[in-house]
Amino acid sequence: MNENGRTNAGKRRNKQRFQARKGFAVLLAALIPGLGHLFLGLFIKGLTFMLLLLLDLSAMLYVSSIGMQINIPLLILLGLFVPGLYFYNIYDVLQSADLILYRRRLKAEGTDPDIPSTQMRLFQRERGVSFGILLVLGGSLMILFYQKPRWLAAFFASYGTYTLAVLLVIAGCLFFLREISFSRRRRRG
């Protein structure tokens, strides 16, 4: 075989190996949300998915077990969050694996990866204080859900639906502002 044949065979082997890693990451993400991200080296994303899933399940158990009239809209929304988080987790693992493996393949070939800055920002979020704050808040909420204080049950009974509606409106406004910001950036550049 000539050198070109060996190079092509090496590229095919690398591509197969990259595809196998991607498939394994997706399989792990399908088994336990966040595990695929951990396999890819995106520890904060993986732990965030795990924390969100645990918080959602804890909140569902709390709302359904506090002995008050069950807040059906809140329980339904919390229940719908689980498959939404699950499928977004798989989608994000696929996208992240493609980007990571694409960068690794280009580095292995000796070329400089030319990745748009919008995709690179996803991986710059892997550092910062926000994850620590999320862990503290998530842990505090889990403690509250398992301790079941009376004031929290009274809050959910009185203001649970309103609080949920306000949170959804705020989240919608934040996503709206984010889209406006992205569209302005696209027009400028």
CA–CA distance from 58 to each of 6, 20, 85, 183 (Å)? 55, 34, 15, 37
In the chain, what are the domain boundaries?
3-148, 150-189
Residue 56 has pLDDT above 80, yes or no: yes
Q: What is the pLDDT of residue 53?
A: 92
Q: What is the pLDDT of residue 41?
A: 85
Q: What is the pLDDT of residue 64?
A: 80
16 closest CA partner among 105, 114, 138, 120: 105
For 4, which DSSP code? H
Residue 66 has pLDDT above 80, yes or no: no
List, in sequence order, the alpha helices (H) in the chain: 3-31, 35-40, 43-65, 72-109, 117-124, 130-147, 150-188
Tens-place pLDDT, residues 91-101? 999 998 888 87
Residue 151 is encoded by which pair of tokens?
Answer: 């004031």
CA–CA distance from 114 to each of 96, 125, 159 (Å)? 16, 19, 50
* Identity of the residue numbered 183: S
CA terminus-to-terminus distance, the chain: 48
Confidence of residue 4 (pLDDT cuts 50, 70, 90): low
Confidence of residue 68 (pLDDT cuts 50, 70, 90): low
Q: Please state whether the predicted TM-score (pTM) of the whole model is above 0.75.
A: no
**What are residue 149's phi and psi, to 5 degrees?**
-70, 150
Residue 1 is encoded by which pair of tokens?
Answer: 């075989």
Least confident residue range of 23-27, 54-58, 159-163: 159-163
Percent of the chain at pLDDT above 70? 81
Instruction: Output the CA angle 170-175-179, nearest 5 degrees.
Output: 145
Confidence of residue 32 (pLDDT cuts 50, 70, 90): very high
Q: What is the mean pLDDT of the chain?
A: 80
